Amino acid sequence: MSLITVPCGACGGRQFQLKYPGTIHNPDDEPARYYSSSRARAGHLDIVRCLDCGLLMTNPRDDDETIRGVYGALRDEAHEDEDDGRAPTVRALLSLVEAHRPAPGRLLDVGCASGVFVAMAAESGWTVTGVETSTWALAGLRSGAGRPPSFRAP
């Protein structure tokens, strides 16, 4: 794992305050070990708040090559096992979005994983595009396994 310190992704600021200390205590561990939806396996680096705009972000973070490699090879069978439990969270997130812009509209879900948010947003009238780099997750999306009839994957 190669960690890099980056400026704020929203405003370019470079001053941060620690908000949530990381749970990864050995930076030499294999990064893929911590990328999971399972609370028993997932971990995170320090989460900081930008002092200029307030954005919360991981900093320092994995370098781009590490992120690409981990997400491209990511397999997370626990993620699909939790799809039914995600429905209330997705409904709450859609309500938050719709408080600012009611459907219909366009949404982009970056890191759409098993497509639960994409499918539920589409059923609510949104035109949704999901982006995912995990070849394992993409195979599940393309097969349509467990997705509502209105869900279409590339």
* Number of domains the chain contains: 2
Would you say residue 61 lies in a domain?
A: yes
Residues 11-39: what's their mean pLDDT? Answer: 80
- Is pTM, for the whole model, over 0.85? no
Q: Distance of CA 58 to CAs 43, 47, 145, Å?
A: 12, 4, 33
Q: Dihedral sign for Cα 19, 71, 106, 91, please.
A: negative
Residues 38-46: what's their mean pLDDT? Answer: 72
Q: What is the pLDDT of residues 66-97, one digit of tens each?
A: 888 887 777 766 666 676 777 888 899 999 99
Q: Is the pLDDT of residue 111 over 60?
A: yes
- Give the pLDDT score at 27: 64
Q: Is the pLDDT of residue 149 over 50?
A: no
Asked if 15 and 60 sit in the same domain, the reply is: yes
Asked if 86 and 68 sit in the same domain, the reply is: no
Judged by phi (left if over 0) then psi (alpha if -120 to 50, else beta), residue 103 lies in: beta
Would you say residue 148 lies in a domain?
A: no
Residue that terminates a domain, selected from 41, 73, 105: 73
